[in-house]
Structure 1
Amino acid sequence: PPEKATEIQATLEVFEKDGKRNTSSLLIEATSISPKKWCVTYKARSKVGVIDLWRICHSIGEANRYEHNERLAKPSEIHKGLADSAFTLSDLGMEFLYWPSQIVLKTQRRKSRLCYVLESRNPNPSNGEHHRVVSWVDQKTGGILLADLYNASPKPVKRFSVKGLTKKNGRWQVDEMEMRDMKSRARSRLQFHLK
């Protein structure tokens, strides 16, 4: 859980294959509910000026709770792109880390960092869910630097990567991350405006 309530301004850019670029402003709020429960809220202004609100509530030892506009999110909304991007609620909630099958395949360097290569397998993927995720987890920080997300196909359908890190008060913070849709070739970039 976050040590204190945090508010971060962010920009979400979607770059389509045809060269079009869509930009949304996001406000991200992280709040601690208890020592074992915290919520992260994403507020985005839609194309028509309406504010959309997504919330992921994490509880240690329990599945994530997903909300959309102050109500429990439907399963289809959990796998829908946040502000029309490639980032879904389930991706941002790192749902794959809750799957029962977690195997460390090897250690490998990524982005000049020594990482555990972790394979997460979904035992019962439903429509829209990933079947497996292979992620590169930084050994020192525990942060995910890169992840390939798969459906039934042997090739990844999406690729997540951390694009920028900033060291603040002795701690590394992500200031930019990207999700690529391997089929459509669109990419979504989330930039955090850290103070």
Structure 2
Amino acid sequence: MFASRLLPRLRRILFSSFVAGMILSCGIAIAQEKAEKTLEQLSADEVLRLVRYSYTLYDRDFVGRLRKDKLEVPFTLSLQPQYIRFKFDNPPQIIHLNTTNDQFFLKEVSAGKDGPVEPSRYGETIRGTDVSYDDLSMRFLYWPNARIIGEEKVKTRECWIVEIRNPDGHGQYGTVRVWVDKGSGGMMTMVGYDNQGNAIRVFEVLHGKKIEDIWMVDQMRVETFDPKTRKRISHTYIEILDTAPTIRVPEEKKK
């Protein structure tokens, strides 16, 4: 109910996280107007719910790439109200996040397989990069019992620090902290910690631009750290390059 009241204007001005194509806008301000809450009255779970909800409101495809050293992995990102889909080639692979009913469901289509991604694989990295299934799907946005543990400026932007603990033990992260821009609702930084509290993964927004009618974060860096030495092991850039031709199959033809 809370998120559904925001629908009319969220369709015109959107914000989102990396998995949603990294769309920027002023969603939290809308929450204040439509739900009659001040920024300070929003709970951590409500902030995460708005981030999740925003990426169900668009219907557009984009081309992008994962870039690690000399390795470049092209992909097509498809945003639809019911799902988010990453499509890779050579070999063909589709990673599909179902966003219906605000529930987490991640599936994969590749090499004759079509089914859910097993929880034991959430921590696996994708195609030799630093990006895992957990990272691509932003599974931590669906974890319950988030809490706001502080506030901090990131690149001049006032941010909440939202902490979420892993409820099921799957994947690499025991705890995740997300720095959420108060003005846009966008994710500025994410730090993933192992079960011993050591930082092992850091996401950081680096750059944004307008692609057609949408302001996008078009470059984000994902860094992997050694939990013992705290030194950076490697890093990967996630980049949105442009829009892609958007072709949708009418519902009657899907049946």
Same fold, TM exceeding 0.5? yes
1:30 is aligned to 79
Is the 1:101–1:123 Cα contact (8 Å) retained in structure 2? no
1:118 is aligned to 162
1:44 is aligned to 88
Q: Which has the higher helix share?
A: 2
Sort the Cα spacing of 1:170 and 1:68 in 2 relative to 1 into closer, same or farther, 3 A.
Answer: closer
Q: Please give the alpha-carbon distance, in whole angstroms, between the structure 1 residues aligned to 2:101 and 2:186.
A: 17
* Structure with max Cα Rg: 2
TM-score, structure 1 as length reference: 0.83
SS at match of 2:149: strand
Gaps of 5+ in 1: 16-20, 33-37
Sort the Cα spacing of 1:30 and 1:170 in 2 relative to 1 into closer, same or farther, 3 A.
Answer: closer
**Which residues of 2 match residues 142-153 of structure 1 at below 5 A?**
142-153=185-196
Sort the Cα spacing of 1:10 and 1:169 in 2 relative to 1 into closer, same or farther, 3 A.
Answer: closer
Offset of residue 5 of structure 1: 2.2
Gaps of 5+ in 2: 1-54, 227-231, 244-255
Is the 2:97–2:105 Cα contact (8 Å) retained in structure 1? yes
1:78 is aligned to 122
**Which residues of 2 match residues 156-167 of structure 1 at below 5 A?**
156-167=199-210
- The answer on 1:6 being equivalent to 2:55 is no
Percent identity of equivalent pairs:
19
2:8 is aligned to none
Aligned length in residues: 180
Alignment RMSD (CA, Å):
2.0
Q: Which has the higher strand share?
A: 1
- The answer on 1:191 being equivalent to 2:239 is yes
Provide Cα deviations, 1:50-79, integer angstroms capped at 9, x if missing partner.
1111111113432x1111113222223332
Sort the Cα spacing of 1:4 and 1:102 in 2 relative to 1 into closer, same or farther, 3 A.
Answer: closer
TM-score, structure 2 as length reference: 0.65
